[in-house]
Amino acid sequence: MNFVRLFSDVQRRPDAYGLNGGYREHVAFINGCNAATGAELLQGFSERLAAKLGEGENLYWALLVANLASSPVRVRRLDDLSQQQEERAVAVLFDELLAFLYPASAGAS
């Protein structure tokens, strides 16, 4: 499966995939894709995000993305995200995910 194409389409048309635009829904969708690959899809993603943040090697990738999106404010729980932070987190999630899966796409959008 071409996950770069899939995630690009999900980003453009979340409603076509049953997503209402909330960050947690996007995280659940991506976790499902990761599970379908036996956890190979996101292998190394948390480490990449933690390196970018300069901390958080022990944190869940979804929380790391939320912290990148909310910087300099630190997010401790995904439930604490405001609507504006969620929207920003979704955008950062796809930027980071696509750059991770297809490094040549970084900066191409």
Q: pLDDT over 70 for what percent of the chain?
A: 94
Alpha-carbon torsion angle 74, 87, 46, 27, nearest 10: 120
Mean pLDDT of 7-19: 96
The number of C-alpha atoms within 13 Å of 1 and in the hemisphere containing its C-beta is 9
What is the pLDDT, as a whole number, of residue 21?
82
* pTM for this predicted structure: 0.89
> Where do the domains of the chain lie?
3-103
Euclidean distance between CA atoms 57 and 48, whole angstroms: 9
